[in-house]
Amino acid sequence: MVAPVLQTTLSSTIKGGNPAAESRLSSPLQDSGALNGFSHSDLTPVIGREYTGLQITDILKSENSDQILKDFAVTVSQRGVVFLRNQDVTPQQMREFGERLSRLSGCPDSSTLHIHPLTEESSELGDQISVISSTKQKKGGGLTHQLSDTSRFASVGWHSDISFEPVPSDYAMLKIHELPSTGGDTLWASGYEVYDRLSPAFAALLEGLTATHDAEFFHDEARRLGNPLREGERGSPLNFGGELRAVHPVVRTNPVTGWKSVYVNRGFTRRINGVTKDESDVILQYLFNLLTQNHDAQVRFKWSKNDIAIWDNRSTWHTATYDYTETRTGDRVCSLGEAPYYDSLSKSRRQALEEGA
Protein backbone atom coordinates (compact mmCIF):
# COMPACT_ATOMS: atom_id res chain seq x y z
CA MET A 1 0.00 0.00 0.00
CA VAL A 2 1.37 3.41 -0.94
CA ALA A 3 1.31 5.65 2.14
CA PRO A 4 0.41 9.35 1.86
CA VAL A 5 2.99 12.00 2.69
CA LEU A 6 3.15 12.27 6.48
CA GLN A 7 2.63 15.44 8.46
CA THR A 8 5.36 15.74 11.08
CA THR A 9 4.62 19.08 12.74
CA LEU A 10 1.61 21.36 12.92
CA SER A 11 1.97 24.93 11.69
CA SER A 12 1.36 27.67 14.23
CA THR A 13 -1.47 28.84 11.98
CA ILE A 14 -3.49 25.69 12.72
CA LYS A 15 -6.17 25.98 15.40
CA GLY A 16 -8.12 23.21 17.03
CA GLY A 17 -7.64 19.54 16.44
CA ASN A 18 -6.06 17.00 18.74
CA PRO A 19 -2.38 15.98 18.38
CA ALA A 20 -3.43 12.38 18.98
CA ALA A 21 -5.59 12.45 15.84
CA GLU A 22 -3.80 14.53 13.22
CA SER A 23 -4.09 13.97 9.49
CA ARG A 24 -0.98 12.33 8.06
CA LEU A 25 -1.04 14.64 5.03
CA SER A 26 1.48 17.47 4.86
CA SER A 27 -0.23 18.97 1.80
CA PRO A 28 -3.43 18.39 -0.20
CA LEU A 29 -3.60 15.26 -2.36
CA GLN A 30 -3.22 15.68 -6.12
CA ASP A 31 -5.27 13.86 -8.76
CA SER A 32 -3.05 11.52 -10.81
CA GLY A 33 -5.65 10.88 -13.52
CA ALA A 34 -6.27 7.24 -12.57
CA LEU A 35 -10.04 7.77 -12.93
CA ASN A 36 -9.89 9.58 -16.26
CA GLY A 37 -10.88 6.50 -18.24
CA PHE A 38 -14.26 6.20 -16.51
CA SER A 39 -17.27 8.06 -17.87
CA HIS A 40 -18.78 10.59 -15.48
CA SER A 41 -20.96 13.68 -15.28
CA ASP A 42 -21.07 16.51 -12.75
CA LEU A 43 -24.64 16.93 -11.50
CA THR A 44 -24.34 20.62 -10.53
CA PRO A 45 -21.55 23.19 -10.91
CA VAL A 46 -20.52 22.96 -7.23
CA ILE A 47 -21.46 19.53 -5.88
CA GLY A 48 -22.09 15.96 -7.02
CA ARG A 49 -20.59 13.60 -9.60
CA GLU A 50 -21.95 10.37 -11.04
CA TYR A 51 -19.75 7.69 -12.60
CA THR A 52 -21.08 5.29 -15.23
CA GLY A 53 -19.95 1.67 -15.40
CA LEU A 54 -17.66 1.88 -12.37
CA GLN A 55 -17.98 -0.95 -9.83
CA ILE A 56 -16.50 -0.85 -6.33
CA THR A 57 -15.53 -4.52 -6.65
CA ASP A 58 -13.49 -3.74 -9.78
CA ILE A 59 -11.63 -0.97 -7.93
CA LEU A 60 -10.81 -3.27 -5.01
CA LYS A 61 -9.30 -5.99 -7.22
CA SER A 62 -7.52 -3.67 -9.65
CA GLU A 63 -3.71 -3.88 -9.86
CA ASN A 64 -3.75 -0.09 -9.54
CA SER A 65 -6.32 -0.03 -6.74
CA ASP A 66 -4.31 2.12 -4.30
CA GLN A 67 -3.87 4.94 -6.81
CA ILE A 68 -7.48 4.69 -8.00
CA LEU A 69 -8.68 4.91 -4.39
CA LYS A 70 -6.49 7.94 -3.69
CA ASP A 71 -7.88 9.69 -6.78
CA PHE A 72 -11.37 8.63 -5.74
CA ALA A 73 -10.79 10.29 -2.36
CA VAL A 74 -9.68 13.48 -4.10
CA THR A 75 -12.77 13.43 -6.30
CA VAL A 76 -15.17 12.85 -3.41
CA SER A 77 -13.51 15.58 -1.34
CA GLN A 78 -13.59 18.08 -4.22
CA ARG A 79 -17.09 17.28 -5.50
CA GLY A 80 -18.59 16.57 -2.07
CA VAL A 81 -20.48 13.42 -3.05
CA VAL A 82 -20.04 10.74 -5.74
CA PHE A 83 -22.79 8.40 -6.95
CA LEU A 84 -22.33 4.87 -8.31
CA ARG A 85 -25.33 3.05 -9.79
CA ASN A 86 -26.34 -0.59 -9.35
CA GLN A 87 -23.45 -1.85 -7.23
CA ASP A 88 -22.98 -5.57 -6.61
CA VAL A 89 -21.07 -5.20 -3.35
CA THR A 90 -21.24 -6.96 0.02
CA PRO A 91 -21.11 -5.28 3.46
CA GLN A 92 -17.60 -6.69 3.92
CA GLN A 93 -16.48 -5.09 0.63
CA MET A 94 -18.07 -1.81 1.72
CA ARG A 95 -16.04 -1.94 4.94
CA GLU A 96 -12.85 -2.67 3.00
CA PHE A 97 -13.51 0.15 0.55
CA GLY A 98 -14.30 2.66 3.30
CA GLU A 99 -11.27 1.78 5.40
CA ARG A 100 -8.83 1.89 2.48
CA LEU A 101 -10.29 5.14 1.13
CA SER A 102 -9.72 6.81 4.49
CA ARG A 103 -6.29 5.26 5.05
CA LEU A 104 -4.95 6.19 1.61
CA SER A 105 -6.14 9.78 2.03
CA GLY A 106 -4.16 10.28 5.22
CA CYS A 107 -6.38 9.48 8.18
CA PRO A 108 -4.54 9.15 11.52
CA ASP A 109 -3.14 5.73 12.38
CA SER A 110 -5.55 5.62 15.33
CA SER A 111 -8.68 6.05 13.16
CA THR A 112 -10.65 3.20 11.65
CA LEU A 113 -14.33 2.61 10.83
CA HIS A 114 -16.88 4.13 13.19
CA ILE A 115 -19.15 2.11 15.46
CA HIS A 116 -22.37 4.07 15.93
CA PRO A 117 -23.54 4.43 19.56
CA LEU A 118 -26.88 2.87 18.60
CA THR A 119 -25.47 -0.17 16.77
CA GLU A 120 -26.63 -3.36 18.45
CA GLU A 121 -24.01 -5.62 20.00
CA SER A 122 -23.22 -8.64 17.78
CA SER A 123 -25.13 -7.14 14.84
CA GLU A 124 -25.54 -9.61 11.98
CA LEU A 125 -23.76 -7.23 9.57
CA GLY A 126 -21.01 -6.34 12.05
CA ASP A 127 -20.40 -3.43 14.40
CA GLN A 128 -19.19 -1.14 11.61
CA ILE A 129 -22.33 -1.31 9.47
CA SER A 130 -25.17 1.04 10.43
CA VAL A 131 -28.56 -0.09 9.17
CA ILE A 132 -30.65 2.84 7.91
CA SER A 133 -34.22 1.67 8.38
CA SER A 134 -37.51 3.53 8.02
CA THR A 135 -39.17 0.72 9.99
CA LYS A 136 -36.82 1.39 12.90
CA GLN A 137 -37.55 5.10 12.71
CA LYS A 138 -41.27 4.54 13.00
CA LYS A 139 -40.61 2.67 16.23
CA GLY A 140 -38.72 5.66 17.57
CA GLY A 141 -35.18 4.63 16.67
CA GLY A 142 -33.01 4.75 13.57
CA LEU A 143 -29.95 6.79 12.73
CA THR A 144 -31.40 9.67 10.74
CA HIS A 145 -33.39 12.65 11.92
CA GLN A 146 -37.14 12.84 11.71
CA LEU A 147 -39.78 15.54 11.80
CA SER A 148 -40.86 16.00 15.39
CA ASP A 149 -43.51 17.64 17.54
CA THR A 150 -41.35 20.76 17.68
CA SER A 151 -40.94 21.29 13.94
CA ARG A 152 -42.72 20.77 10.64
CA PHE A 153 -39.75 21.93 8.58
CA ALA A 154 -38.02 19.14 6.66
CA SER A 155 -34.79 21.14 6.93
CA VAL A 156 -34.36 19.96 10.54
CA GLY A 157 -32.85 16.80 9.05
CA TRP A 158 -29.69 18.43 7.63
CA HIS A 159 -26.58 17.07 9.35
CA SER A 160 -23.01 15.88 8.96
CA ASP A 161 -22.44 12.36 10.24
CA ILE A 162 -21.29 11.90 13.84
CA SER A 163 -19.95 15.41 14.40
CA PHE A 164 -20.69 14.78 18.11
CA GLU A 165 -17.54 12.62 18.31
CA PRO A 166 -14.09 14.16 19.06
CA VAL A 167 -12.91 12.37 15.90
CA PRO A 168 -15.82 12.53 13.45
CA SER A 169 -16.30 10.97 10.03
CA ASP A 170 -14.23 11.83 6.99
CA TYR A 171 -16.01 9.63 4.41
CA ALA A 172 -19.31 7.79 4.48
CA MET A 173 -20.94 5.45 1.99
CA LEU A 174 -24.56 4.38 1.82
CA LYS A 175 -26.09 1.59 -0.23
CA ILE A 176 -29.88 1.60 -0.54
CA HIS A 177 -31.28 -1.88 -1.18
CA GLU A 178 -34.98 -1.46 -0.40
CA LEU A 179 -36.92 1.50 -1.78
CA PRO A 180 -40.42 2.94 -1.62
CA SER A 181 -42.24 3.12 -4.96
CA THR A 182 -41.80 6.89 -4.91
CA GLY A 183 -39.99 9.41 -2.72
CA GLY A 184 -37.10 8.79 -0.36
CA ASP A 185 -34.50 10.93 -2.17
CA THR A 186 -31.40 12.28 -0.38
CA LEU A 187 -30.00 15.79 -0.66
CA TRP A 188 -26.42 16.95 -0.09
CA ALA A 189 -25.16 20.52 0.25
CA SER A 190 -21.67 21.98 -0.08
CA GLY A 191 -19.98 23.46 2.98
CA TYR A 192 -17.35 24.92 0.65
CA GLU A 193 -20.02 26.87 -1.21
CA VAL A 194 -21.63 28.13 2.00
CA TYR A 195 -18.21 29.38 3.15
CA ASP A 196 -17.76 31.17 -0.19
CA ARG A 197 -21.02 33.06 0.41
CA LEU A 198 -19.75 34.66 3.63
CA SER A 199 -18.49 38.22 3.61
CA PRO A 200 -14.74 38.46 4.39
CA ALA A 201 -15.40 40.18 7.73
CA PHE A 202 -17.95 37.59 8.83
CA ALA A 203 -15.73 34.73 7.67
CA ALA A 204 -12.86 36.15 9.74
CA LEU A 205 -15.11 36.22 12.82
CA LEU A 206 -16.21 32.61 12.33
CA GLU A 207 -12.65 31.40 11.77
CA GLY A 208 -11.82 32.31 15.37
CA LEU A 209 -14.77 30.46 16.90
CA THR A 210 -15.62 26.92 17.95
CA ALA A 211 -18.98 25.20 18.37
CA THR A 212 -20.31 22.47 20.64
CA HIS A 213 -21.88 19.44 18.95
CA ASP A 214 -23.82 16.87 20.93
CA ALA A 215 -26.08 13.86 20.47
CA GLU A 216 -27.36 13.34 24.00
CA PHE A 217 -30.74 12.47 22.45
CA PHE A 218 -29.23 9.12 21.44
CA HIS A 219 -29.56 8.08 25.09
CA ASP A 220 -33.33 8.40 24.76
CA GLU A 221 -33.32 6.50 21.46
CA ALA A 222 -31.24 3.68 22.99
CA ARG A 223 -33.79 3.33 25.79
CA ARG A 224 -36.68 3.26 23.30
CA LEU A 225 -34.91 0.60 21.24
CA GLY A 226 -34.17 -1.43 24.35
CA ASN A 227 -30.44 -1.64 23.54
CA PRO A 228 -27.56 -0.29 25.63
CA LEU A 229 -25.63 2.65 24.20
CA ARG A 230 -22.20 1.69 22.88
CA GLU A 231 -19.83 3.40 25.33
CA GLY A 232 -16.65 1.52 24.41
CA GLU A 233 -14.15 2.72 21.82
CA ARG A 234 -16.04 3.72 18.66
CA GLY A 235 -13.39 3.58 15.93
CA SER A 236 -10.90 5.93 17.63
CA PRO A 237 -9.38 5.90 21.13
CA LEU A 238 -10.76 9.44 21.51
CA ASN A 239 -14.36 8.33 20.80
CA PHE A 240 -15.63 6.54 23.89
CA GLY A 241 -17.97 6.91 26.84
CA GLY A 242 -21.54 8.08 27.22
CA GLU A 243 -20.96 11.83 26.87
CA LEU A 244 -21.74 12.27 23.17
CA ARG A 245 -20.35 15.78 22.93
CA ALA A 246 -17.41 17.46 21.18
CA VAL A 247 -16.08 20.94 20.40
CA HIS A 248 -14.96 21.70 16.83
CA PRO A 249 -13.94 24.80 14.84
CA VAL A 250 -16.82 26.59 13.09
CA VAL A 251 -14.70 26.78 9.93
CA ARG A 252 -12.79 23.61 9.14
CA THR A 253 -9.95 22.88 6.71
CA ASN A 254 -10.26 19.71 4.65
CA PRO A 255 -6.72 18.22 4.49
CA VAL A 256 -7.40 16.36 1.22
CA THR A 257 -8.28 19.54 -0.71
CA GLY A 258 -6.85 22.26 1.54
CA TRP A 259 -10.20 24.09 1.23
CA LYS A 260 -12.23 25.80 3.96
CA SER A 261 -15.74 24.66 4.84
CA VAL A 262 -18.36 25.78 7.32
CA TYR A 263 -18.64 22.98 9.89
CA VAL A 264 -21.85 23.35 11.87
CA ASN A 265 -25.08 21.46 11.31
CA ARG A 266 -28.65 21.57 12.50
CA GLY A 267 -28.65 17.95 13.61
CA PHE A 268 -25.86 18.13 16.21
CA THR A 269 -24.53 21.70 16.67
CA ARG A 270 -25.99 23.25 19.80
CA ARG A 271 -23.92 26.33 20.60
CA ILE A 272 -21.31 28.70 19.21
CA ASN A 273 -18.73 29.15 21.97
CA GLY A 274 -17.20 32.45 23.07
CA VAL A 275 -20.32 34.51 22.30
CA THR A 276 -23.63 35.01 24.10
CA LYS A 277 -26.47 32.55 23.66
CA ASP A 278 -28.41 35.18 21.70
CA GLU A 279 -25.45 35.78 19.40
CA SER A 280 -24.95 32.03 18.99
CA ASP A 281 -28.59 31.56 17.99
CA VAL A 282 -28.35 34.35 15.40
CA ILE A 283 -25.10 33.02 13.89
CA LEU A 284 -26.30 29.43 13.70
CA GLN A 285 -29.65 30.39 12.19
CA TYR A 286 -27.91 32.50 9.54
CA LEU A 287 -25.57 29.66 8.62
CA PHE A 288 -28.45 27.17 8.50
CA ASN A 289 -30.37 29.61 6.27
CA LEU A 290 -27.40 29.83 3.88
CA LEU A 291 -27.58 26.06 3.55
CA THR A 292 -31.34 25.56 3.26
CA GLN A 293 -32.22 28.64 1.18
CA ASN A 294 -29.59 28.24 -1.53
CA HIS A 295 -30.72 25.35 -3.71
CA ASP A 296 -27.80 26.02 -6.07
CA ALA A 297 -25.47 24.80 -3.30
CA GLN A 298 -27.34 21.46 -3.18
CA VAL A 299 -27.72 18.28 -5.19
CA ARG A 300 -30.68 15.89 -4.96
CA PHE A 301 -30.28 12.20 -5.74
CA LYS A 302 -33.09 9.84 -6.71
CA TRP A 303 -32.10 6.34 -5.67
CA SER A 304 -32.49 3.11 -7.59
CA LYS A 305 -31.99 -0.25 -5.94
CA ASN A 306 -28.35 -1.01 -5.02
CA ASP A 307 -27.08 2.49 -5.79
CA ILE A 308 -24.26 3.80 -3.60
CA ALA A 309 -23.40 7.35 -2.55
CA ILE A 310 -19.98 8.20 -1.08
CA TRP A 311 -19.49 11.63 0.48
CA ASP A 312 -17.06 13.74 2.50
CA ASN A 313 -18.60 14.59 5.88
CA ARG A 314 -16.01 17.31 6.51
CA SER A 315 -17.37 19.50 3.75
CA THR A 316 -21.00 18.51 3.13
CA TRP A 317 -24.33 18.16 4.88
CA HIS A 318 -27.08 15.76 3.87
CA THR A 319 -30.68 14.92 4.65
CA ALA A 320 -33.21 12.32 3.58
CA THR A 321 -36.64 13.36 2.37
CA TYR A 322 -39.39 11.90 4.54
CA ASP A 323 -42.04 11.85 1.82
CA TYR A 324 -42.81 8.11 1.77
CA THR A 325 -44.71 5.52 3.78
CA GLU A 326 -43.26 2.30 2.36
CA THR A 327 -40.09 0.62 3.61
CA ARG A 328 -36.72 2.19 2.84
CA THR A 329 -33.54 0.46 4.08
CA GLY A 330 -29.84 0.67 3.43
CA ASP A 331 -26.39 -0.02 4.86
CA ARG A 332 -23.96 2.73 5.81
CA VAL A 333 -20.23 2.70 6.54
CA CYS A 334 -18.49 5.71 8.10
CA SER A 335 -14.72 5.98 8.31
CA LEU A 336 -13.06 8.28 10.82
CA GLY A 337 -10.61 10.95 9.77
CA GLU A 338 -8.66 13.54 11.72
CA ALA A 339 -9.81 15.67 14.63
CA PRO A 340 -11.23 18.84 12.94
CA TYR A 341 -8.86 21.81 12.68
CA TYR A 342 -8.67 25.19 10.97
CA ASP A 343 -5.57 26.28 9.03
CA SER A 344 -5.46 30.02 8.33
CA LEU A 345 -3.27 29.36 5.27
CA SER A 346 -5.97 27.22 3.64
CA LYS A 347 -8.09 28.61 0.80
CA SER A 348 -11.72 28.70 -0.12
CA ARG A 349 -12.89 26.45 -2.94
CA ARG A 350 -13.54 29.41 -5.18
CA GLN A 351 -10.12 30.94 -4.54
CA ALA A 352 -8.33 27.64 -5.13
CA LEU A 353 -10.13 27.01 -8.43
CA GLU A 354 -9.52 30.57 -9.63
CA GLU A 355 -5.81 30.20 -8.87
CA GLY A 356 -5.71 26.75 -10.44
CA ALA A 357 -4.58 25.20 -7.17
Q: Which residues are catalytic?
A: 159, 161, 318, 332
Tell me how far CA of residue 4 lies from CA of 28, 101, 103, 301, in angstroms. Answer: 10, 12, 8, 32
Phi-psi category of residue 30: left, alpha or beta, with phi > 0 → left and psi -120 to 50 → alpha: beta
For residue 225, what are the contacts with CB-CB under 8 A and spacing of at least 6?
118, 136, 139, 140, 141
Q: Which residue, 146, 145, 142, 119, is CA-closest to 132?
A: 142
Classified as helix, coil or strand, 301 is strand
- Residues ≥6 apart with Cβ < 8 Å to 11: 343, 345
Question: How far apart are alpha carbons 257 and 253 in whole angstroms?
Answer: 8
